Amino acid sequence: MPQSGRIAQCGRALACRGNGQPRRRKGANAATGRRKSPAAQGKSGFRGYGRNLKKSGSHLQSKPEKKYEIIRERSGEHSVEKMCRILEVSQSGYYRWLSCPRSKTDRENQKIYDVLKDSYNQNKGRVGLDKLLDDVRLRFPHCSRNRLYRIQRVHGLYSIRHRKFKATTNSKHNYPVAPNLLHQDFHVDAPNKVWVTDITYIRTDEGWLYLAAVKDLFDRQIVGFATGSRIDTDLCKRALNTAIRRYKPGPGLIHHSDQGVQYASLDYQKLLKRNHMIPSMSRKGTPYDNACAESFFSTIKLEMIYHEHYITREQAQSAIFEFIEIYYNRQRRNAAIGNIPPADLRRRFYQQLAA
């Protein structure tokens, strides 16, 4: 086309836009010419949800099908029109996708997601991909880790964030200290052979609540625990007595703890001797000697305590009881024993003995 022809064509196009001014996009701000966000164009009550929904689909810019799945899941809660606008997909495209038959893989992925979501909710978002994968494989044995990760990523089912855990021990005393009999060998082949114990603390609005727990190294189960407002020998004795009444261990059980004053005290050592237990203590300044006991406190703090606020000690006590007796001992998969709950391992052990 000759140069004069191209100039004439441009002039006509500009004239159509109105005296040479660029056409303002629909929904744009009159002063700035910038397009308003979809959330700002909607009702104010929808504004916060719009931001969250757009964030849900932000990593799916090149995959409208994934955005369609989000819209379908939430269509009972919010307008399809608004969700399409926020996620920047067309309504016609969504309804066309909805009317098309889904592939076999898509249908199976949806079933896997249902199992994944149930496991995630049951664990209250505390566990990571590997433990969720074990739950999913009970229904879908051939589901790969990568496949589950893709499904997890699409739906944002990530574990709650952790923060660093710090344990402390008061070992400044003049009581005798028992030798370390474990030497960081935490493998045990039967229940009630080695128990480890430790103390931690939980903040409440009423003040500190202290938790003493006794753990069986065989199945990593918490066999006894006690809570109280004072960090003293009585607290530790109550936790141990609970474990003794429940499991009635035979003579020769190794009782391992740190060198804390509560465990080294004469009263506590008398309790061990009366029940024919052998005392063992970590070396001073070597926290790894009692790592198995401290790992439980790390778990309960990182997965529950750090994410909750307790007004009263009684409220914290109820949460601790539920976490230990319902979740940790019976539901939570433990990687140290093959990613099964502690109670399952103990039950299998006694079933094999009876067979």
pLDDT number for residue 101: 63
Query: pLDDT per residue over 127-167, tens digit each?
Result: 777 778 888 888 888 888 888 888 888 777 777 655 544 44
> 102 — phi, psi (to 5°)?
-85, 150
Q: In what order do the strands lie in the sheet with 254-257?
A: 221-228, 207-216, 194-204, 254-257, 278-281
pLDDT at 39: 42
pLDDT at 1: 52
**Cβ atoms of 24 and 33 closer than 8 Å:** yes
What pLDDT digit, counting tens, does each position of 294-303 carry?
A: 888 888 988 8
Note the pLDDT of residue 50.
52
The pLDDT assigned to 286 comes to 66
CATH code of 194-354, in short, is 3.30.420.10
Count Cβ atoms below 10 Å from residue 153 Cβ, excluding itself.
14
Determine the pLDDT at residue 287.
64
Radius of gyration in angstroms for the set of CA atoms belonging to the chain, rounded to a whole number: 30
Beta bridge partners of 216: 195, 221
Which residues lie below 8 Å from residue 216, measured CB to CB, with a gap of 6+?
188, 191, 192, 194, 195, 223, 247, 342
Cα–Cα dist 294/145, whole Å: 30
Domain ranges of the chain: 64-99, 104-155, 194-354
Q: How many C-alpha atoms does 156 have within 13 Å on its Cβ side?
A: 12
Q: What pLDDT shows up at residue 20?
A: 44
Beta bridge partners of 280: 256
Q: Is 0.85 surpassed by the pTM of this model?
A: no
The answer to whether 178 touches 279, Cβ cutoff 8 Å, is yes
Counting as low any pLDDT under 70, the low residues of the chain are: 1-63, 101-102, 126, 160-174, 285-289
User: 211 - beta bridge partners?
Assistant: 200, 227
